[in-house]
Amino acid sequence: MYYEANVLKRRDVASLGAVEAAFREGPLAAALRAAPSIERRCGLGADAFEREYRRGLRPVVMQGAAADWPAVREWSFERLAERCGDTRVVVDSYSSQRARETTFAEFVSLLNGNTGTGTVPLYLQEWYYQEHCAQLAADLPELDIAQYDFRRELYGEAVSTNHQLWIGQKGGITRLHQDSYMVDVMHVQLVGAKRWSVLGPRANLPRTGDGRANFGRLVDHPDTELMQCVLEPGDVLYLPAQWFHRIELLEDSMGLGRKCLDPIHLQLHVRQRMAELLAIALNAEEVKKTHPELFNVVMARNRTWAGRMNIDLSKLRP
Ligand SMILES: O=C(O)CCC(=O)C(=O)O
């Protein structure tokens, strides 16, 4: 079995739990309190974005860049339930223990009832709304700065606009991860506020001689580049490929995950896609063991992707 030495990259339950605990009340929580903010820019044009951030692979928050979007001005849980109430969704899909399938309308009524001390916040993560609720896309216009997304050329327009919605309750968490397939993150905050904690792509959490994660080494190393920001409605965060990120919902929240493939990452992107498909096709049992929390998410993601490319999964060849 392949052994991943960097604990930040491991997807088994124990490693995920150790990193999350360190963020909640351990060494990473303390480091975060002293961590610098990601730069915030108001009125940043496409050329300046390109020159000052994308070429240098530096994160930036574009304050209010989507403030005039219909989704930012008009959306609420109830409004979406009126428009997509019958759509089937998997709530808490990032947790093998809590994942459950329901309708969007039922999810919203669960949210309303899920309050008080001791309740675990509900989170609809990585929802490919365009599969069954495509009409929402009209409220989420394309960003000027996202024109470089090479997935258009690679897979066609439908897949390049294969964006995800993240809808959840105050206190919800998306654990630290790097996005798959070498894509850049462009996250648009639509409703509510959330805190992003990010680490640079070279961040490394090794183990000590007795096998425990060495958080001291992580926190002290310059490659860790720990930073944070709070996104408010209308803000857009650009995070270059391979930056680690952890998200905490400070209020009930909705966000749009708009991914972009920079052509400089094309070869690695294709390799990762192929590696994932081959692992699922040829080695699914082992992948279930190494990625127990994410196996179903990866399957759902690939089914959606195939659907948007009109690939019939019941056939080897059309
Ligand atoms: O908002 C979240 O909870 C996670 C978003 C995310 O990981 C992304 O857009 O890449």
Q: Locate tokens 């462009």: which residue? A: 186
Q: Return the domain boundaries, the chain.
A: 7-308
Choosing from 177, 190, 247, 250 the residue with most ligand 1 atoms within 8 A of its CB, the one to mutate for a pocket test is 247
Residue 185 CA: nearest ligand 1 atom is 10
Structure tokens at 207: 């183990």
* Pocket test residue of 122, 174, 180, 232 for ligand 1, highest count of atoms within 8 A of CB: 174
Query: Where does ligand 1 bind, in terms of residues with CB under 6 Å?
Result: 166, 174, 179, 185, 187, 245, 247, 255, 257
Q: Please tell me the predicted confidence (pLDDT) of residue 1.
A: 63
CA of 125 relative to ligand 1 center, distance in Å: 8
With beta carbons less than 8 A apart as the criterion, state whether 7 and 206 touch: yes
How many Cβ atoms are within 10 Å of 27's Cβ, its own excluded? 17
- pTM listed for this prediction: 0.94
Place of tokens 């692992």: 279
Cα 259 versus chain centre, distance: 9
Cα of 198 vs centre of ligand 1, distance in Å, is 11
Q: Any idea what DSSP says for residue 140?
A: S
Between the CA of 247 and the centroid of ligand 1 the distance, in Å, is 7
Q: What is the pLDDT of residue 2?
A: 66
Looking at residue 157, its pLDDT comes to 82
Question: Within 10 A of 260 (CB to CB), how many other CB atoms are there?
Answer: 22
Q: How far does the centroid of ligand 1 lie from the alpha carbon of residue 174, in Å?
A: 7
Q: CB atoms < 10 A from the CB of 85, how many?
A: 16
> CB of 85 within 8 A of CB of 52?
no
Q: Which CATH class is domain 7-308?
A: mainly beta
Q: What is the pLDDT of residue 318?
A: 65
Ligand 1 atom showing the smallest separation from residue 174 Cα: 3
Cα-to-centroid distance, 277 and ligand 1 (Å) = 23
The atom number, within ligand 1, closest to the CA of 177 reads 7
First-last CA distance in the chain: 35
pLDDT at 316: 77
* Nearest-atom index, ligand 1, CA of 239: 10
CA distances in angstroms from 286 to 13, 95, 180, 190, 291, listed in the order given:
15, 18, 19, 38, 8
Transcribe 54-78 into DSSP letters. Answer: ITTT--EEEETTTTT-HHHHH--HH
The CA distance from 31 to 227, in Å, is: 9
The CA 127 to ligand 1 mean position distance, Å, reads 11
Helix, strand, or coil (residue 47): helix
CA-164 nearest atom, ligand 1: 9
Q: Which long-range contacts (CB under 8 A, 24 or more apart) does 35-38 make?
A: 35/197, 35/226, 35/227, 35/228, 36/227, 36/228, 37/227, 37/228, 37/229, 38/196, 38/198, 38/227, 38/228, 38/229, 38/237
Placement of tokens 């909640």 in the chain? 24
**Token pair in block for residue 71:** 């989704």
Helix (H, G, I), strand (E, B), or coil: what is residue 227?
A: strand
The DSSP letter of residue 51 is I
Query: How many helices (DSSP H) and strands (DSSP E) are in the chain?
Result: 11, 13
pLDDT in tens, the chain (318 residues): 667 899 999 988 899 999 999 999 999 999 999 999 999 999 999 999 999 999 999 999 999 999 999 999 999 999 999 999 999 999 999 988 899 999 999 999 999 999 888 899 999 999 999 888 999 999 999 999 999 999 999 998 877 666 899 999 999 999 999 999 999 999 999 999 999 999 999 999 999 888 899 999 999 999 999 999 999 999 999 999 999 999 999 999 999 999 999 999 999 999 999 999 999 999 999 999 888 888 999 998 899 888 888 889 998 776
Distance between CA atoms of residues 189 and 299, nearest Å: 26
Q: Which two tokens stand for residue 12?
A: 């088994």
**Do strands 60-63 and 40-42 pair parallel, antiparallel, or not at all (unpaired)?**
parallel
How many CB atoms are closer than 10 A to CB 216?
A: 10
The label of the residue with tokens 């216009």 reads: 141
How far is the C-alpha of 27 from the C-alpha of 21, rounded, in Å?
Answer: 9
Identity (one letter) of the amino acid at 131? E
The pLDDT of residue 238 is: 98
Ligand 1 probe mutation, 166, 196, 236, most atoms within 8 A of CB: 166
